Copies of this chain bind each other. A is one copy, B any other.
Amino acid sequence: MWILRIDMSKLSYKLEPVPEKYRYLYGRAMTSQIVADEVPPLCHALGPNNKLVFSAGMVTSTSAPTSARISVGCKSPLTGGIKEANAGTSWGPDLASMRIRALIVEGVPEKKDFWGAYISWDAEAGQPKVEFFEANQYIQHDVYETFPLIYQRFEGRISICSIGNAGENGYGNSGIVFNDLAKRPSRYAGRGGVGAVMASKGLKFLILNEKGSPGIEMADKPLFEEGRKKLIDAIRSHPISKPKGGLNSYGTAVLVNILNEAGGLPTRNFSSGRFEGAGRTAGEAIFETNKERMGKEIYNHACSPGCIIQCSNTYYNPDQTERTSCIEYESTWALGANLGIDNLDDIATMVQLCNAYGLDTIETGGTLGVAMEAGLLAWGDSKAAIEMIHEMGKGTPIGRILGAGAEVTGKVYGVRRVPTVKGQSMPAYEPRAIKGIGITYATTTMGADHTAGYTICPEILGVSGKVDPLSPEGKAALSRAFQATTAFIDSCGHCLFIAFPILDIAAGFEGMIQECNGVLGTNWTADDVVAYGAQVLKVERAFNEAAGIAAEADRLPEFMRLEPLPPHNQVFDISDETLDSVYKDL
């Protein structure tokens, strides 16, 4: 296995052996450790000293189910702290198959040129090689146009990693896009402005062709297979993850009605927990609309090789052409309820535009909510919202304001109600109605992020038990446990959605650990999983503290302590001491 370093100031690369201290680090554990070891915490996120690190998970490129995640790490231009964003795509397995444990992009070019890097397997040398090509002609174009050009340009089965206008414009709201199984540029490591970091390095494409590569080594294949089967069984039997279950039928947007019912669906820039138009934006509505338009029931598809949950939807036009893929829960909420919009066709258009321009849908919706709060456009005006996303793509002054994210937009317009933590927009769960997720938002190293510690499982979904979402009781410990376990899952390469089955089905959890032990030759137990995740969090936390982001940044915005949220009329009442205990007691 190698660390592959690409130096964009010289268009050069080198392969290094993986240091012993990184032996068991993969995915998020690997990207965060390298960022902590190599990036000065106070450097400019778009400057020469930041680095962009890619690493696939422990079991990525094996036959483990739903395990094709790729982690992207750097110092975030949005939060100023450490960032890990991940996506499901063939790109992750391809990187792992070439035995590249981590790909580190460093340096910035002297001129503002853009380049592509083509990474393939050099059979003669028995190692990966990198070739660079000019990419200026591809910039400031819809990524739905550039991806096909790249697929044409390179022979064989390739995987593509790229950025859109948003990254090229240096936006705090800019993701890194990977291909899905249908070659769409639709799988985003979306959050924290990672696209702008890639752009700052003059890197437009990272193209992988793993043909001839050896694949990853496995220490104990039978153990791996045993674990894999247990995990597959768990996934296939849990109501949320099974075939034609919640996710496969309705996608993640199955959550819209559930959260709305719970009074925890943030509406009109977090001024209510319930949206009268929620049903029209929900997964069920997507399913029914498709059924009507296509004349049959359409179940969802896999975003990446080996996924058996298959939660990605496609949303179709009345003429049966594709409008977008995929409308996630977060997206239909951010561009729906959060803006008072219930027109599903327009929401789908906005999702497609975010993908085309390289924008994170959560940050985009959060920002448009702040813009509506400022009076720039009216609540519910989906046509105006679509226009604003076009402005973001074009990089006009108003587009650039919005492209910088909700926090900056709030500053530019003097808005008091800005739902961010550490500069990052809050996702689709209201902290005043669901206290545990508020603790995660406040304390995670990532800025407001539901995936960092998804306490929604017990607070709303009844997964791994059931706790009262409105109660503050025990929620710090709950968030801490979820954050640590999540940091492990983000490192093993599995999609976070395996959490549903493995939290409820003990054999599934055991299976995941056996898979990892099978690959790595370790003897980990459940305790080791938590300890591994906790160590990742500690590394990230230390980076943030050195970047000046400490306990005082682990707070929700003031308005959530001042304004009671309908329908439960609760404020966020978790004490600072409780928030601080999450990491103090880690």
Question: Interface on A for B, CB 8 Å cutoff?
Answer: 40-44, 46-49, 77, 169-172, 196, 199-200, 396-398, 400-401, 403-404, 408, 411-416, 418, 545-553, 555, 557-559, 562
CB A249 to nearest CB in B, in angstroms, measures 41
Shortest beta-carbon contacts, A-B, top 5: A170-B414, A548-B552, A397-B397, A397-B398, A404-B412
Q: Which of B49, B200, B547, B551 contacts A414 (CB 8 A)?
A: B200
Tell me the bound Cα distance from A457 to B200 in angstroms: 40
| Nearest chain B residue, comparing its CB with the CB of A375 | B112
A44-B548 contact in complex given A172-B411, A401-B401, A412-B408, C-beta closer than 8 Å: no
Give, as a whole number of angstroms, the nearest-CB distance from A140 to chain B: 14
- Min CB distance A308 to B, Å, is 40
How many copies of this chain are found per oligomer?
A: 2
Verify B47–A416 contact, CB threshold 8 A: yes
* A400, A411, A546, A557, most chain B CB atoms within 10 A: A411
Please name 11 pairs of A and B residues whose Cβ atoms are closer than 8 Å in the assembled complex, sorted by A. Answer: A43-B558, A44-B559, A48-B562, A397-B398, A401-B401, A404-B412, A545-B552, A546-B552, A548-B549, A548-B550, A548-B553
17 more CB-based (< 8 A) A-B contacts, given A171-B414, A548-B549, A548-B551: A42-B552, A42-B558, A43-B558, A44-B416, A44-B418, A44-B558, A77-B411, A170-B414, A400-B401, A400-B412, A400-B413, A404-B408, A404-B411, A404-B412, A408-B408, A547-B552, A548-B550
**Which chain B residues lie closer than 8 Å to A555 at the CB level?**
42
Contact yes or no, B49 A558, CB < 8 A: yes
The answer to whether A557 touches B44, judged by C-beta atoms less than 8 angstroms apart, is yes
Q: Which residues from chain B contact A200 at a C-beta distance below 8 Å?
A: 414, 416
Q: Please measure, in the bound complex, the distance between the C-alpha atom of A401 and the C-alpha atom of B552, giving whole angstroms.
A: 27
Q: State the Cβ distance, A109 to closest chain B Cβ, in Å.
A: 13
Q: Is the CB of A46 within 8 A of B550?
A: no
**Which residue of chain B has its CB nearest to the CB of A47?**
B416
Q: Which residue of B lies closest to A554 (CB)?
A: B548
Residues of B within 8 A of A551 (CB): 548
Q: A548 — which chain B residues lie within 8 A by C-beta?
A: 548-553
Question: Which B residues touch A415, using CB under 8 A?
Answer: 170
Which residues in B have their C-beta under 8 angstroms from that of A546? 552
Min Cβ gap A549→B in Å is 8
Q: Residue of B at shortest CB range from A423?
A: B411
**From residue A452, how far is it (CB to closest CB) to chain B in Å?**
20
Min CB–CB distance A112 → chain B (angstroms)? 10
In the complex, what distance in Å separates the CA atom of A549 from the CA atom of B169? 29
The distance from the CB of A74 to the nearest CB of chain B, in whole angstroms, is: 14
Q: Which residue of B lies closest to A552 (CB)?
A: B548
Q: Which B residues touch A414, using CB under 8 A?
A: 46, 77, 169-171, 196, 199-200
| Nearest CB of chain B from residue A541's CB, rounded to whole Å | 14
A400 to B411, CA, bound (A): 9
Tell me the minimal C-beta distance from A562 to chain B in angstroms: 7
B416–A412 touching, CB < 8 Å: no
Distance, CA A46 to CA B411, complexed state (A): 10
